[in-house]
C-alpha cells in the first residue's frame, strides 16, 4: 500500500462510488414507490463519484474544478446522504442549519484556495464539515425508537462511528503535521485516509442494500398479515352484509347492470312488489313491471354509468296487482364475478306523498275558491282527486234536502272532455232509481265495485256515458246527514281501503271548503245588497245623494287629471208641492218614479243620475261639453213634459226646470259645480219654469 500514490487511490475511490451509485440506482428504481430517500442516497454516490474524480485530476484541471467544486460536491454529497437516510427512516429533521453551514464552508474553501491558499486549512475545514454531517447521522441512528428499524441499522451505526473517527483523526493529523501545497504529494497518511473512506462507503452501500431489503421483507410480511386480516374481515363483512341484506326492513335487490337480471332480493322487496322469490330471481325489474314508466330505468342506468351511485331518485312504481306506488331509489355499482352490477334500495313513500298532496290540495282548493264558482271548485277538486287516485272519471252529486233525490252537480274536466258525452249536469235523479253508484247513499257507507260488468243490480248507462270498469263512491256527511256523494272510477288497478280512506279525507276537506264558499257567497250577496241599498234611492231606484256625491267626486278628479270636459244638469219638478197637496203623496211618489225613469232612459250608461232630495235630481255628464249638455237637458225636459204615464194616471202636465253648468279649472269640488247648476236652475224657475238655463259668470 505504501507504493500506491494518492491519485491512484482517488481513481479507485471514484470507481467504487460509481459502482455504489449503480447499486443504489437499482434500489431506487425498484423501491422508490415504497420508501422515501433512496433517490437522495443515490445522488450522494453520484456526487461523490464526480467530486473524487475532480480531486484526482488535481494539477490537470483548474483549481476551481479540482479544489472548490470537487470538495463542495463531496460535502454536499454527505449532506444528501444524511437527508436521504432521514427520509428513508421517516425522521422529519430541519435542515436549515446544514444549508447555512454548507454555504459557509463554500465561502471558506474559496478563501483558502484563492485569498489565502493553504492546503492544511482546507483539509481541516473539509474534515470538520464531514464530521459535522456524519455526526448528525450517528445521533439520528442512535435515537430511533422504532424497534424494527433499530435492529436493521446496527451495522450502519458502527460504520457511521468509524466514519466520524476517521474524520476526527484526519483533523488531528492535519492540525499537527504540515500538509505542504499539493494534495497528491502529501504524506502517506492521506492515502490511508482515502482508502478508509473507500472501505467505509463500500461497506455503507452493502449494509444500506441489506437494510433496504430487510425493510422490504418486513413490509411484505406486514402486507401479507394485513391481507390475511383483510380477507378475514372481508369474509366477516360478507357474512354481515348477507345477514343485513336478507333481514333489512328496506326492500333491496342485486341486479346486473347490463340487462337488469335480478341476482338476489330480500323478503322486503318481495312484499313490496307482491312477487314471490321464484318469480323475482332470474327475472328483471322491467319484466316484473316495477317501473310504471320504463324510461325511468334508462335514466337511472345512465346516471349510474356516469357517477357510479344514485341517491333518492323518485319515480312511480307498480305492484303485481297493478297498484301504482311512489318509490324512492338509491343504488350503487358493485363488481360481481367481473360483471358490473347494482345494489339497489327501494322505499315506498306513497303514504308520505299522499299526506303531502292532501295538504297541497287543501291549500290549492282554498286559494282556488276565492275567485271561482262552486261548480268550478267541484270540478277542480275532482281533477285533483283523479290525479291522486290514478282514476280516469269522477263526479259530484248533491243530495237534496228531502234525502230522496240527487242532483248531478259536476263532472271532472277529463270526464266531460274525453270519456263522457252524456247530458247530465244539474240533472235530478231519484235515489230509488239511481244505479249501484247510489248504494253509498242508501247504505250510508263507502262502496267499491271493482268488477262493474258482473254486477247484477246495475242499471243501464245513458247514451254517451263513459263505460265503467270499476268505481268507488263515498258519501259526504255533515252533522250525520248525507249532503253529497263523490265518486271516482276506472282506475287501472282495483280500488282498496287505502283509496277509501284517501277519498273520505279529501272529500271531507272539499265539502268543508264548499260549505264555506256557500256561506261566503251568501254573505257577499248580502253585503252587495246592503251596499246597493246604501247607495240607492229607495223610491226611484236610482243613485241617492250619497252615491251621487261619491261618483261625482271621482268624475271631478278624472276630469281635472286628464283635462276632460265635464257638465252637470240639475232639475227640479215644477209645482211639486201642488201635486202632493191636491192628489196625495202616492201621486207625488209616482211622479218622482216617472221622472227618474225618464232621466235614466234618456242618458248614456256612463252618465250618473241621482236624486238629490225631494223633487230635485242631478245628472253628471262625463266627457261632455256644456253645449252638448244643454241639448241633452232640452231633450229630457221635453220627455218629461210629454210623459204619457204621467198624463194618463195623474191627468196633469208635469214639467221640470233645468240648470246646466260645466266644470272649470277654478272649481274645487262637486259642491261648487252643484251650486252653479242650482243657480242656473233657479234662473229657469224665475224665468217661467219648464225651461233650460246655462250657468254663466254673470249669474255667479
pLDDT at residue 404, as a whole number: 66
Q: Which alpha helices (DSSP H) does 563-698 contain, by range?
A: 576-583, 585-602, 626-641, 644-650, 670-686
CA 401-405-407 angle, to 5 degrees, is: 90
Q: Give the list of residues 6+ apart from residue 550 with CB closer than 8 angstroms, or none.
A: 535
Which class is domain 545-694?
alpha beta
pLDDT at residue 540, as a whole number: 92
Most confident option among 265-269, 368-372, 459-463: 265-269
Neighbours of 374 (CB within 10 A): 18
Most confident option among 147-151, 356-360, 418-422, 674-678: 674-678
Q: Which residues pair with 429 in a beta bridge?
A: 406
Contacts by 537-543, CB closer than 8 A, 24 or more apart: 537/596, 537/610, 537/611, 539/589, 539/592, 539/593, 539/611, 540/592, 540/593, 540/595, 540/596, 540/597, 540/611, 541/596, 542/596, 542/599, 542/600, 542/609, 542/610, 542/611, 543/608, 543/609, 543/610, 543/611
Q: What share of the chain is helix, strand, coil (3-state, %, to 5)?
A: 60, 15, 25
Superfamily for 248-348?
PAS domain (3.30.450.20)
| Percent of the chain surpassing pLDDT 90 | 18
Residues in the chain: 700
In which band, very low, low, confident or very high, does the pLDDT at 9 lie, cut at 50, 70 and 90?
A: low
Q: Is the predicted pLDDT of residue 226 greater than 60, yes or no?
A: yes
CB of 451 within 8 A of CB of 464? no
* Residue that has been written with the C-alpha cell 335487490 in this structure: 253
pLDDT at residue 387, as a whole number: 87
Q: Is the predicted pLDDT of residue 528 greater than 50, yes or no?
A: yes
Q: Where are the domains of the chain?
A: 6-221, 248-348, 353-524, 545-694
Of 571, 581, 548, which Cα lies nearest the Cα of 690?
571
615 tagged catalytic: yes
C-alpha cell at 250: 328496506
Q: Is the predicted pLDDT of residue 430 greater than 70, yes or no?
A: no
Q: Give the list of residues 6+ apart from residue 108 with CB closer than 8 angstroms, or none.
A: 125
- Mean of pLDDT values over 491-498: 86
- Mean of pLDDT values over 460-472: 72
Q: Give the list of residues 6+ apart from residue 323 with CB closer than 8 angstroms, or none.
A: 493, 494, 496
Q: Which CATH number applies to 353-524? A: 3.30.450.40
C-alpha cell at 228: 390475511
pLDDT at residue 563, as a whole number: 92
Q: Does residue 401 sit in helix, strand or coil? A: coil
pLDDT at residue 692, as a whole number: 95
In which band, very low, low, confident or very high, does the pLDDT at 408 lie, cut at 50, 70 and 90?
A: low
- Mean of pLDDT values over 12-36: 74
Q: Which residue has the higher pLDDT, 80 or 683?
A: 683
CB of 663 within 8 A of CB of 671? no
Give the Cα separation of 428 and 408 in Å (integer): 7
Confirm whether 248-348 and 545-694 share one CATH topology. no
Look up residue 183 and give its DSSP letter. G
Contacts by 593-596, CB closer than 8 A, 24 or more apart: 593/539, 593/540, 594/643, 594/645, 594/646, 594/654, 595/540, 595/640, 595/643, 595/654, 595/656, 596/537, 596/540, 596/541, 596/542
CA 426 centroid distance within chain: 45
Give the Cα separation of 484 and 408 in Å (integer): 10
Q: Is the predicted pLDDT of residue 71 greater than 50, yes or no?
A: yes
The whole-chain average pLDDT of the chain stands at 81
Report the 3 state secondary structure along 415-455: HHHHHCCCCCCCCEEECCCCCHHHHHHHCCCCEEECCHHHC
Neighbours of 537 (CB within 10 A): 21
Span of 3-12, 237-246, 407-416 with lowest mean pLDDT = 3-12
Q: Is the predicted pLDDT of residue 264 greater than 50, yes or no?
A: yes
Q: Does residue 577 sit in helix, strand or coil? A: helix
- Mean of pLDDT values over 158-175: 76
Look up residue 37 and give its DSSP letter. S
CB of 312 within 8 A of CB of 328? yes
Q: Is the predicted pLDDT of residue 632 greater than 60, yes or no?
A: yes
Q: Is the predicted pLDDT of residue 527 greater than 50, yes or no?
A: yes
Span of 97-111, 545-559, 587-601 with lowest mean pLDDT = 97-111
Span of 11-20, 280-289, 374-383 with lowest mean pLDDT = 11-20
Give the Cα separation of 541 and 226 in Å (integer): 102
pLDDT at residue 352, as a whole number: 82
Radius of gyration for the alpha carbons in the chain, expressed in angstroms and rounded: 56
What are the phi and psi torsion angles at 342 (to 5°)? -120, 135
Q: Which residue has the higher pLDDT, 30 or 463?
A: 30
Most confident option among 6-15, 160-169, 311-320, 356-365: 311-320
Q: Which residue has the higher pLDDT, 185 or 522?
A: 522
pLDDT at residue 191, as a whole number: 65
pLDDT at residue 2, as a whole number: 47
CA 477 centroid distance within chain: 41
CB of 624 within 8 A of CB of 685? no
Q: Is the predicted pLDDT of residue 428 greater than 60, yes or no?
A: no
In which band, very low, low, confident or very high, does the pLDDT at 1 lie, cut at 50, 70 and 90?
A: very low
Catalytic residue among 296, 471, 615, 693: 615
Quote the pTM value. Answer: 0.45
Of 71, 78, 21, 80, which Cα lies nearest the Cα of 51?
71
Q: Give the list of residues 6+ apart from residue 472 with CB closer than 8 angstroms, or none.
A: 389, 446, 447, 448, 449, 487, 488, 489, 491, 495, 499, 500, 503
Q: Is the predicted pLDDT of residue 186 greater than 60, yes or no?
A: no
| Percent of the chain surpassing pLDDT 70 | 84
C-alpha cell at 340: 358490473
Distance (Å) of CA 679 to CA 71, 454, 569, 572, 668: 128, 88, 11, 12, 17
Amino acid at each position: 500500500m505504501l507504493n500506491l500514490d494518492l491519485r491512484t487511490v482517488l481513481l479507485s475511490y471514484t470507481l467504487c462510488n460509481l459502482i455504489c451509485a449503480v447499486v443504489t440506482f437499482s434500489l431506487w428504481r425498484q423501491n422508490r414507490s415504497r420508501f422515501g430517500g433512496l433517490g437522495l442516497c443515490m445522488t450522494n454516490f453520484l456526487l461523490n463519484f464526480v467530486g473524487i474524480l475532480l480531486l484526482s485530476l488535481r494539477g490537470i484541471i483548474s483549481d476551481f474544478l479540482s479544489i472548490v467544486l470537487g470538495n463542495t460536491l463531496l460535502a454536499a454529497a454527505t449532506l444528501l446522504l444524511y437527508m436521504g437516510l432521514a427520509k428513508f427512516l421517516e425522521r422529519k429533521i430541519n435542515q436549515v442549519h446544514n444549508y447555512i453551514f454548507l454555504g459557509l464552508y463554500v465561502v471558506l474553501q474559496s478563501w483558502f484556495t484563492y485569498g489565502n491558499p493553504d492546503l492544511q486549512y482546507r483539509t481541516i475545514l473539509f474534515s470538520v464539515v464531514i464530521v459535522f454531517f456524519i455526526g448528525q447521522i450517528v445521533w439520528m441512528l442512535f435515537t430511533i425508537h422504532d424497534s424494527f428499524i433499530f435492529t436493521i441499522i446496527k451495522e450502519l451505526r458502527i460504520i457511521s462511528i468509524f466514519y466520524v473517527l476517521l474524520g476526527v483523526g484526519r483533523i488531528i493529523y492535519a492540525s499537527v503535521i504540515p500538509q505542504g501545497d499539493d494534495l497528491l504529494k502529501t504524506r502517506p497518511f492521506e492515502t490511508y485516509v482515502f482508502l478508509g473512506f473507500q472501505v467505509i462507503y463500500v461497506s455503507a452501500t452493502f449494509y444500506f442494500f441489506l437494510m433496504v431489503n430487510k425493510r422490504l421483507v418486513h413490509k411484505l410480511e406486514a402486507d401479507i398479515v394485513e391481507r390475511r386480516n383483510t380477507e378475514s374481515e372481508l369474509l366477516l363483512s360478507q357474512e354481515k352484509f348477507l345477514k343485513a341484506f336478507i333481514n333489512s326492513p328496506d326492500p333491496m335487490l342485486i341486479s346486473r347492470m347490463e340487462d337488469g337480471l335480478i341476482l338476489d332480493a330480500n323478503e322486503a322487496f318481495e312484499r313490496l312488489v307482491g312477487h314471490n322469490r321464484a318469480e323475482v330471481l332470474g327475472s328483471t325489474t322491467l319484466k316484473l313491471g316495477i317501473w310504471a314508466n320504463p324510461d325511468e330505468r334508462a335514466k337511472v342506468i345512465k346516471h349510474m354509468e356516469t357517477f357510479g351511485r344514485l341517491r333518492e331518485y323518485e319515480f312511480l312504481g307498480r305492484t303485481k296487482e297493478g297498484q301504482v306506488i311512489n318509490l324512492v331509489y338509491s343504488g350503487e355499482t358493485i363488481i360481481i364475478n367481473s360483471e358490473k352490477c347494482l345494489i339497489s334500495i327501494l322505499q315506498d313513500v306513497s303514504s308520505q306523498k299522499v299526506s303531502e298532496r292532501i295538504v297541497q290540495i287543501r291549500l290549492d282548493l282554498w286559494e282556488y275558491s276565492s275567485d271561482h264558482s262552486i261548480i268550478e271548485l267541484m270540478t277542480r277538486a275532482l281533477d285533483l282527486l283523479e290525479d291522486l287516485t290514478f282514476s280516469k272519471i269522477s263526479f259530484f252529486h248533491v243530495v237534496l234536502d228531502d234525502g230522496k233525490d240527487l242532483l248531478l252537480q259536476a263532472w271532472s274536466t277529463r270526464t266531460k272532455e274525453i270519456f263522457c258525452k252524456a247530458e247530465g249536469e244539474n240533472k235530478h235523479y231519484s235515489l230509488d232509481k239511481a244505479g249501484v253508484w247510489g248504494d253509498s247513499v242508501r247504505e250510508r257507507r263507502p262502496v267499491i265495485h271493482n268488477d262493474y260488468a258482473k254486477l247484477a243490480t246495475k242499471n243501464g248507462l245513458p247514451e254517451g256515458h263513459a263505460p265503467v270498469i270499476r268505481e268507488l263512491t263515498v258519501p259526504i256527511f255533515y252533522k250525520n246527514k248525507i249532503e253529497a256523494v263523490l265518486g271516482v272510477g276506472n282506475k287501472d288497478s282495483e280500488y282498496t281501503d287505502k283509496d277509501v280512506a284517501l277519498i273520505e279525507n279529501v272529500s271531507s276537506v272539499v265539502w268543508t271548503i264548499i260549505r264555506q264558499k256557500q256561506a261566503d257567497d251568501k254573505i257577499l250577496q248580502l253585503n252587495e245588497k246592503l251596499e246597493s241599498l246604501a247607495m240607492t234611492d229607495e223610491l226611484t231606484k236610482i243613485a241617492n245623494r250619497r252615491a251621487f256625491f261619491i261618483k261625482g267626486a271621482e268624475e271631478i278628479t278624472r276630469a281635472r287629471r286628464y283635462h276632460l270636459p265635464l257638465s252637470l244638469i240639475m232639475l227640479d219638478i215644477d209645482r211639486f208641492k201642488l201635486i202632493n197637496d191636491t192628489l196625495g203623496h202616492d201621486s207625488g211618489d209616482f211622479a218622482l218614479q216617472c221622472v227618474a225613469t225618464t232621466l235614466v232612459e234618456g242618458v248614456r250608461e256612463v252618465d250618473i243620475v241621482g236624486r238629490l232630495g225631494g223633487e230635485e235630481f242631478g245628472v253628471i255628464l262625463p266627457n261632455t261639453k256644456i253645449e252638448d249638455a244643454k241639448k241633452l237637458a232640452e231633450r229630457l225636459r221635453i220627455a218629461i213634459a210629454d210623459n204619457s204615464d204621467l198624463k194618463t194616471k195623474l191627468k196633469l202636465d208635469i214639467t221640470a226646470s233645468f240648470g246646466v253648468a260645466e266644470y272649470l279649472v277654478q272649481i274645487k269640488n262637486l259642491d261648487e259645480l252643484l251650486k252653479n247648476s242650482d243657480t242656473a236652475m233657479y234662473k229657469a224657475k224665475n224665468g217661467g219654469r219648464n225651461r233650460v238655463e246655462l250657468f254663466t259668470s254673470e249669474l255667479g
